[in-house]
Amino acid sequence: MHIRTKHFIAGLAALTLTIPVWARTYKESLTTDKNEMIGSTQLSAGSYELAADDSKKELDVLENGKVMATVQGQWVKLPKKPQYSTVVSDGDKITQVQFSGSDQAFQVQ
């Protein structure tokens, strides 16, 4: 009986260590010609990259490869996968980032 328990624990440990491998990182380019807000961060006109890991509730805003802000939010299920990546705005506030080929979108809080 002890051998089965040890094998079970070893298998569970191996599975736990591989879970981060299953996470997927999504990236989307954003070029804006006006000032916009994402979370509590003001973005000036320019080019940015938005990156999110589907195992976390955070979206990183990168400028020239450096993280300039981390925005909190949540993943929401879309009715169908979008053909193109899309940044959804309400006025000058970014509210959602949809990633091409994924049925999940990052909803900014």
- Reported as a pLDDT band with limits 50, 70 and 90, residue 3 is low
Q: What is the pLDDT of residues 51-71, one digit of tens each?
A: 999 899 999 999 999 999 999
Q: Is residue 3 part of a domain?
A: no
Q: Token match 């990236």: residue?
A: 27
pLDDT of 4 reads: 74
Q: Closest by alpha carbon to 44, among 30, 60, 29, 27?
A: 30
Q: Is residue 13 part of a domain?
A: no
Structural domain that includes position 55: 25-108
Mean pLDDT of 64-90: 94
15, pLDDT greater than 70: no
pLDDT of 24 reads: 81
Percent of the chain at pLDDT exceeding 90: 74
Q: Is residue 20 part of a domain?
A: no
Q: Is residue 18 part of a domain?
A: no
The answer to pTM > 0.85 is no
The number of folded domains in the chain is 1
